[in-house]
Amino acid sequence: RVEILNQGPATAVQKFFGTVRKGPANSLVQLPNNYLGPILNLQQGQKVRVYFTNQLSEATIIHWHGLHVPQSSDGHPMYTIAPGGQYVYEFEVRNPAGTSFYHSHAHNLTAEQVYRGLSGLIVVRDVEEAKLDLPDGDYDLPLVIQDRSFDNRNQLRYVHGMPQRMMGFLGDTILVNGKPSAGFQVKSRAYRFRALNGSNSRIYKLGWDDGTPLTAIATDAGLLARPETRPYLMLAPGERIDLWLDFSGRAVGSKLTLYSLPYSGAMPAMYERMGHGGMMHGGIHQGAKFPIAVFEVTEKVSDSPKLPEKLVPFRRLTAADTDNADSPLPIALSMQPMRPLLNGMSFAMDRVVEAEKVPLGSIKKIRIFHDHSRGGHRGGMGMMGGMRHGGDADPNPEHDMGGMGGAMMNMAHPIHLHGQQYQILSRHAADTDGYASVKDGFIDSGWKDTVLVMPGEVVEIAKPFQDYKGLFLYHCHNLEHEDLGMMRQFYVY
């Protein structure tokens, strides 16, 4: 149950309880009979109270991914509630217009609870956005992409073996807004599709089959300064991209298929060599080509909003805005057998180290990189069995067949930080296998809360820690990695 305690600064009445606000203007279409949660439509400036009741037979808690809220309303796993329990959240909507989502954040249970449906979209609107002539009402649609598997009674099947826990779960069926073989009947005009990657570990390379480029108007929880067009767009778990899809001028009856286009390099090299891990997973392999949704033009209309040249005022943060430009805080990614780590550490509910303490009000430069020196060789046994010969990470992968450690375990990780949105300062990639197949699909000019860090990549971000003291998580949004402890927290004091 959701209560709006005050109104946003600029809109008509929008009190609602429980589900989405109805009405032709400014509303997303409700997802009927859907296993996803209802869409929460919020307005910047609103004060919101959410009564969350746990009717499951296991513990859970909900996190508002993308929203800038106090620790006590952020769904930290320390607030996990038992079956029958209730948690009352209260927060003010401080984010600008954009797309966020909510999902379970119960530690060790996140991956499976999200998989089984504990997530839904959050749409924030504001005054700046209202000045723009963006598609709304029936032309503002969700595009929640997930991969799932079903057993022979058509029930969701969550596989949780060693390869899934180490590499992430990959399903065999692609769902859009909770439905397989998704199709949209559209008019010959422009649409806004709010794409969310709600998958546990699958990374999509969104693109049309005919090579037409894609235009984005928002990344994660905010509109861009201006629309950006790319040949394809990478969308990692937890990321959002608002797409401007324009069917103007298309004939009635024409069909366009949105694909995930082929790419490589996201999985460990050895894994890819062994058949892309697809065989081990029994799912569609990471980087395979498959259709996501078909758009069929069913009605000719003569008017359509035009793509604005400029969207919202936007100040780009630079390293000079941070107070530690020369000594960035590290987020080092590494993999040991069954233990993906951040800065060499696993999650501990109430623990932070010195480097994770950040004064309130600061903007920090953070460097996210792969740390090969923390390979999986310490334990000796790789997940594939066999001893890896000791020493530091071996640059020659052919010497490393025995253990899945060091550089051999180097894979893509979508890194999410709670709290305020951040900006990407730079992205540098070593010339690793496969990188060329993804490199044109990143939009780094907007607000972000989740960034895909490909093998060999170093990503630097400027992250504000303003408004709220307390514990704010950062973690890999490969949900199997998150549950395995690839999560830490900042303590803002």
Residues that bind Cu ion (CB under 5 A): 65, 413, 418, 476, 478, 481
Q: Where are the beta strands (DSSP E) in 353-456?
A: 357-358, 362-370, 413-417, 423-429, 450-453
At 166, list the tokens. 């180490």
Instruction: Please give the Cα distance from 24 to 18 (Å, whole number).
Output: 19
238 binds, among Cu ion, ligand C2O, none (CB under 5 to 8 A by kind): ligand C2O
Q: Residue 250: name the closest of 189, 333, 177, 180 by CA.
A: 189
CA angle centred on 219, ends 216 and 220, rounded to 5°: 150
Between CA 34 and CA 28 the distance in angstroms is 14
Residue 107 interacts with ligand C2O (CB under 6 A): yes or no:
no
Applying CB under 6 A, does 207 fall inside the site for ligand C2O?
no
The entry of ligand C2O, Cu ion, none that residue 328 binds, CB within 5 to 8 Å by partner kind: none
Q: How far is the CB of 114 from ligand C2O (least distance, A)?
A: 8
Written as one letter, the residue type at 186 is V
Phi and psi of 72, rounded to 5°?
-70, -15
| Number of residues binding to ligand C2O, judged by CB under 6 A | 10
- Binding ligand C2O (rule: CB under 6 A), the pick from 238, 277, 328, 337 is 238
In the DSSP assignment, the letter for residue 234 is: E
Instruction: Check residue 415 for interaction with ligand C2O (CB under 6 A).
Output: no
Residue nearest to Cu ion (CB): 476
Site for ligand C2O in 297-356 (CB under 6 A): none
Q: Look at residue 481 and give the partner it binds from ligand C2O, Cu ion, none, a contact being a CB closer than 5 to 8 Å depending on partner kind.
A: Cu ion
The reply to whether 202 sits near ligand C2O by the rule CB under 6 A is no
CA dihedral 161, 182, 144, 120 (to 10 degrees): -90
Q: Which two tokens stand for residue 59?
A: 């513990």
Residue in 21, 63, 205, 481 binding ligand C2O, rule: CB under 6 A: 63
Q: Check binding of 65 to ligand C2O (CB under 6 A).
A: yes
Among 21, 68, 103, 165, binds ligand C2O (CB under 6 A): 103
List alpha helices for 324-376, DSSP H: none
Q: φ and ψ at 252, to 5 degrees?
A: -60, 135
Binding characters for ligand C2O, 468-487, by CB under 6 A (x = yes): -----x-x-x----------
For the sheet with 62-65, list strands across it. Answer: 40-43, 119-125, 98-104, 62-65
Q: Tell me if 76 contacts ligand C2O by CB under 6 A.
A: no
478's contact among Cu ion, ligand C2O, none, with CB below 5 to 8 A by partner kind, is: Cu ion
Instruction: Give the binding site for ligand C2O (CB under 6 A).
Output: 63, 65, 103, 105, 238, 416, 418, 473, 475, 477
